[in-house]
Chain A
């Protein structure tokens, strides 16, 4: 079957760095997505990884290891506005996204 696991909740301090992990099991592989969702708002696209390695976009970076079925989202120089849920998703064999339950990130001053 297909499955995605990510931690339920994480807490970090403003200005620090946090790494949010995601492990997945799929029958094939068509890339991995990260989305950010603030409470009561729409999920918004952060990154899409299809090849192994680290992709950097400003304060946010996403890493993928296809052989390990593993990805992480790295957030640097944390700001209070980064408090949100972070959703990991991979397409299934019909190209429809399978979602993790999300990681709620709490930023403390």
Chain B
């Protein structure tokens, strides 16, 4: 499969649950990103990884924990989330983290925290 694949597509979790979002890319890209997209708000960059090392963390609460075991896979581990964390979580990749190459996005995980 080509492109960027995210699983699951939809997730409902309670505030005490622990879950993980998965992202996989088969484009040979070196950089991967997690974004949060809330209704009528700009995309918010959460984490950037380049060659499996975190290069950017935009003051994201510790209840979100990223993991990048290799350049093709990216996870977002979730625990003790709040209802305001409900949003679409998008994964993206690019050839390099210097963004002028543009991004390829996954279809996202629609997260609802109850």
Pairing of A with B: yes
Q: CB within 8 A of A96: which of B45, B105, B106, B110?
A: B45
Number of interface residues of B (CB under 8 A): 21
- Interface mask (B12-55 → A, CB under 8 Å = 1, otherwise 0): 00000000000000000000000000001111010010000000
The reply to whether B102 and A101 contact each other, CB–CB distance below 8 Å, is no
Q: Is A33 an interface residue (CB 8 A)?
A: yes
Q: Which residues of B contact A (CB under 8 A)?
A: 4, 40-43, 45, 48, 56, 90, 97-100, 102-108, 110
Give min CB distance, A57 to chain B, whole Å. Answer: 14
A contact residues around B41 at 8 Å (CB): 101
A40 to B104, CA, bound (A): 16
Within 8 Å CB of B43, what residues of A? Answer: 43, 87, 89, 97, 99
11 contacts between A and B (CB under 8 A): A30-B99, A42-B107, A43-B43, A45-B104, A48-B100, A48-B102, A94-B56, A96-B45, A97-B99, A98-B42, A99-B42
Question: Chain A contact residues (Cβ within 8 angstroms of B): what range?
Answer: 20 to 34
Residues of A within 8 A of B4 (CB): 42
* Contact A96:B90 (CB < 8 A) given known A8-B40, A31-B100, A42-B105: no
What residues of A have a CB within 8 angstroms of the CB of B107 in the complex? 40-42
